[in-house]
Amino acid sequence: MPTNFRLVDRDTAYLLPPSVDEWLPENHLARFIVEIVDELDVSALEGAYTGSGSDAYHPRMMLALLFYCYATGTFSSRKMEAATYESVPVRYVAANQHPDHDTICTFRRRFLAPLSDLFTQILLVAHQMELVEVGDVAIDGSKAKANASKHKAMSWERACQLEDQLSEEVAEMMAQAEQADDESIDTDALPEEIAHRTDRLDKIRAAKVMIEERAGERYQAEKAAYDKKMADRATKEEHTGKKTPGRKPSPPEPGPSDSDQVNFTDAESRIMLTSSNGWQQAYNVQHSVDMDSYMILGGHITQATNDKQQLKPALDDLEALPDELGTIKRLAADSGYFSQDNVEDVTGRQATPYIATGRQNHHPDWTKRLAKADPPPDDPTPVEAMRWRLSTQEGRDFYARRKSTVEPVFGIIKHVMGFRQFLLRGLKKVRGEWKLLQCAYNLKRMHVLAG
């Protein structure tokens, strides 16, 4: 039967060396990222090189390589190195150069600090392209797994138990070592066993010091909050002449609790409850997202397990953006961010808050969905005004947009880009890696918006 197959010839050489510029379609993401990176001011990175030694890879190329690989789900420096040989888009981004994994890893770790400035520059480029403008903003948080196992953590209670146990064992071994005539014990192995237990003791004692320091910081914060609450309570009772109903708040207790713990692999990570994988060693990652373009406007990393105290730093980040990007008009956040102080803070910044005051029913009765809002209250407090605003049809519609804006951003980062855990360890490095990931996401989003 006749066939019309194309010839497969892997031996014939090119008559002329092909240009890497011809390897990709005109609208490819790799081209887009290279073009944007060429517009960025990377003088801070270039100035870090002394000019001595062999020629270094250009910071623009290395930045574009990191941005493209993170945007397409390649986070390992070894996989990036392999991609410079195997992937046509990565070969284009790297200009047919092949930095090894150690060079890529060193560059990423070395230049984490300038990423905040580059993040802002990318937003300014997007604004010039008329892709983003600050106005309606949604804020949310999620848990991202640290590069550490929860099984490498130790609680205060367990640390105290092991310290006592190992101290007794070391004392017994030291005494045994002095009794060289006891043939039932291999005295030659005692020095190694003593050294092993002494090393473990040093690590456990260092962990206990760290737990005590954290407990002290927590106590100071809780004591300040308790004192403020009691002062407000006394002021209210003096003003009304009535005793405040309900149980009197209990003062915080100093010192570590039995469940306080520290991780030996990444001591700055925390054990956190995640929505899908139970308790994990993780960081709390925050995003502020433009509700029209789905672009990330800001975000930070925290060790706090909940979001209550994360609204203020998020607002500070947004206010630090250049004026030409615009200002916040309306802000949406879930009930995890609700508090009287947070509502008053947003209002004081001349923005309109839409923060859920409690957990909402996903399937409310149709009569509630169609019910008209009550008349606005007279001379309301910021919280009362916001409650009424959320009860209106306009308020319900705006708040409903939150789920379809900020939450999909986390979904894209975790499920489309494939980011499951940090590669770097320590809060400072993790913050830099998170900013790198935000830059990569924004470039990917800009490419979609630009068509």
**Token pair for 59:** 């910071």
pLDDT of residue 367: 63
Q: Helix 59-71 to helix 101-110 angle, to the nearest 10 degrees? A: 100
Compute the distance between CA of residue 75 and CA of residue 417 in angstroms, rounded to an integer. 10
Distances (CA, A) of 249 to 225, 246, 253, 270, 405: 11, 9, 12, 27, 38
Is residue 372 helix, strand or coil?
coil
Burial of 337 (0-12, 13-18, 19+ CB in 10 A): buried
Over the stretch 113-146, which tens digit does the pLDDT of each residue have? 888 889 999 999 999 999 988 888 999 988 888 8
- Mean of the per-residue pLDDT values of the chain: 84
pLDDT of residue 159: 80
pTM beyond 0.85: no
**Secondary-structure breakdown of the chain: helix, strand, coil percentages, each rounded to the nearest 5:** 50, 10, 35
Compute the distance between CA of residue 331 and CA of residue 352 in angstroms, rounded to an integer. 6
Domains and CATH numbers, the chain: 20-111 (no CATH), 133-148+270-424 (3.30.420), 150-238+253-262 (no CATH)
Positions in the chain whose pLDDT score sits under 70:
1-10, 14-17, 178-188, 360-371, 373
Adjacent-strand bridge partners of 273: 279
**Token pair for 404:** 């379809």
pLDDT of residue 180: 58
Strands of 242-391, DSSP E: 261-263, 270-274, 278-290, 296-298, 301-302, 326-333, 352-355
